[in-house]
């Protein structure tokens, strides 16, 4: 599940390697992957890859020139917006993809780059599993900021982490821009909603709420000033730490499996690294919410349907 820290490091590493590379060809063997057809993906041929950025949990790969040049757009600037969803990865390969690579969704062949590599390489959006949910859209530069996937994003969770306020219009109590979370939503739901705050998903929501010692299913509107400050500080420190850990560990080529820096998410049954109590989880259809009852819920466990079912059987 690539979230802000994983996507941030992917963007940094690929950008450092590929800035200045020239596109030889671009195609999308994943049939459902490309969401736009104007400009077409093959217009990238001859263009220069300028840089790769992160927006929330998405990637923006900027290009200029080549087949993107038109009368209206003489510089031919465009960006490929990519969402990795839950099982996608953007990876760099030195060998050409064989046609049998069923995980390849978008394949961009490139020559050169900032790292001085001389052979042809491939930037590949791959997706593991049989579902095709990762997607890309190629947007003219003028259309990037107004694209609904970007224009509806909330403020970035990092590095300029918002300072949470009780109500919209309140002055910021901290360094970051003021942000009022929707009061009736649960904290875990609000933090994962990209339109509220951008970059956090299920893994890092669990990490952040554990760090702040706040119960994940509390209503956002029920927090007091100290808790709101603790939540803001926890987002900043956990994401800082996550990214710093990746900077040390990750190099190109990026592996299929990203390292797991979690203290609580995915660790149900293990000891809480802070208090030693057993970490519990609530299971949803395609999600698992982990928390420490001693640190976060006053010692009271949440009901878990799967767990209750096991007891009944």
Q: Point out which residues bind Zn ion (CB under 5 A).
A: 272, 274-275, 277, 292, 294-295
**Residue 133 vs 294, nearer CB to Zn ion:** 294
Query: From the CB of 104, what's the least distance to Zn ion, in Å?
Result: 42
CA distances, 199 to each of 8, 64, 155 (Å): 10, 27, 9
Residues 153 and 179: beta-carbon distance below 8 Å: no
Measured over the CA atoms of residue 273, residue 277, residue 281 and residue 282, the dihedral's sign is negative
**Residue 213 vs 219, nearer CB to Zn ion:** 213
Angle of helix 225-249 versus helix 4-18 axis, rounded to 10: 40
**Residue 105 vs 267, nearer CB to Zn ion:** 267
Query: From the CB of 267, what's the least distance to Zn ion, in Å?
Result: 11
**Residue 75 vs 270, nearer CB to Zn ion:** 270
Q: Which residue, 124, 63, 53, is CA-closest to 88?
A: 124
State the DSSP string of 217-257.
TSBGGG--HHHHHHHHHHHHHHHHHHHHHHHHH--SSPPSS
**Residue 21 vs 212, nearer CB to Zn ion:** 212
CA distance 263 to 291: 10
Residues 125 and 35: beta-carbon distance below 8 Å: no
CA distance 209 to 154: 19
Residue nearest to Zn ion (CB): 272
Query: From the CB of 294, what's the least distance to Zn ion, in Å?
Result: 5
CA distances, 200 to each of 45, 61, 190, 195, 229 (Å): 34, 21, 10, 11, 18
Query: From the CB of 213, what's the least distance to Zn ion, in Å?
Result: 8
Query: From the CB of 298, what's the least distance to Zn ion, in Å?
Result: 12
Phi-psi region at 128: left, alpha or beta (left = phi > 0; alpha = psi -120 to 50): beta
**Residue 33 vs 296, nearer CB to Zn ion:** 296
**Residue 40 vs 273, nearer CB to Zn ion:** 273
Query: From the CB of 216, what's the least distance to Zn ion, in Å?
Result: 13
Query: From the CB of 36, what's the least distance to Zn ion, in Å?
Result: 46
Burial 282-291 (b: 16+ CB within 10 A, else e): beeeeebbbb
**Residue 142 vs 275, nearer CB to Zn ion:** 275
Query: From the CB of 287, what's the least distance to Zn ion, in Å?
Result: 21
Residues 250 and 13: beta-carbon distance below 8 Å: yes
């Amino acid at each position: 599940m690539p979230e802000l820290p994983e996507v941030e490091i992917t963007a940094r590493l690929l950008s450092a390697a590929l800035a200045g590379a020239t596109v030889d060809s671009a195609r999308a063997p994943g049939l459902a992957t490309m969401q736009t057809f104007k400009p077409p993906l093959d217009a990238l041929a001859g263009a220069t890859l300028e840089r790769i950025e992160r927006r929330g949990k998405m990637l923006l790969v900027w290009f200029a020139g080549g087949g993107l040049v038109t009368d209206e757009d003489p510089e031919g600037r465009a960006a490929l917006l990519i969402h990795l969803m839950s099982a996608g990865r953007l990876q760099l390969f030195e060998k050409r993809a064989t046609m049998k690579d069923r995980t390849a969704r978008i394949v961009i062949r490139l020559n050169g780059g900032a790292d001085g590599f001389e052979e042809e390489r491939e930037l590949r959006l791959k997706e593991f599993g049989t579902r095709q949910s990762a997607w890309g859209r190629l947007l003219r530069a003028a259309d990037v900021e107004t694209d609904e996937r970007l224009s509806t994003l909330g403020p970035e969770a990092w590095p300029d982490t918002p300072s949470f306020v009780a109500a919209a219009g309140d002055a910021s109590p901290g360094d970051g821009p003021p942000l009022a979370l929707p009061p009736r939503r649960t904290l875990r739901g609000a933090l994962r909603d990209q339109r509220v705050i951008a970059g956090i998903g299920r893994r890092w929501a669990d990490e952040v709420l554990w760090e702040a010692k706040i119960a994940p299913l509390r209503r956002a509107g029920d927090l007091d000033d100290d808790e709101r400050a603790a939540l803001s500080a926890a987002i900043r420190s956990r994401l800082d730490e996550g990214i710093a850990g990746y900077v040390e560990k990750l190099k190109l080529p990026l592996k299929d499996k990203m390292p797991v820096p979690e203290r609580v998410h995915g660790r149900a049954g293990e000891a809480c690294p802070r208090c030693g109590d057993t970490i519990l989880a609530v299971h949803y259809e395609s999600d698992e919410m982990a928390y420490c009852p001693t640190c976060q819920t006053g010692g009271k466990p949440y009901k878990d349907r799967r767990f209750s079912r096991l007891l009944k059987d």
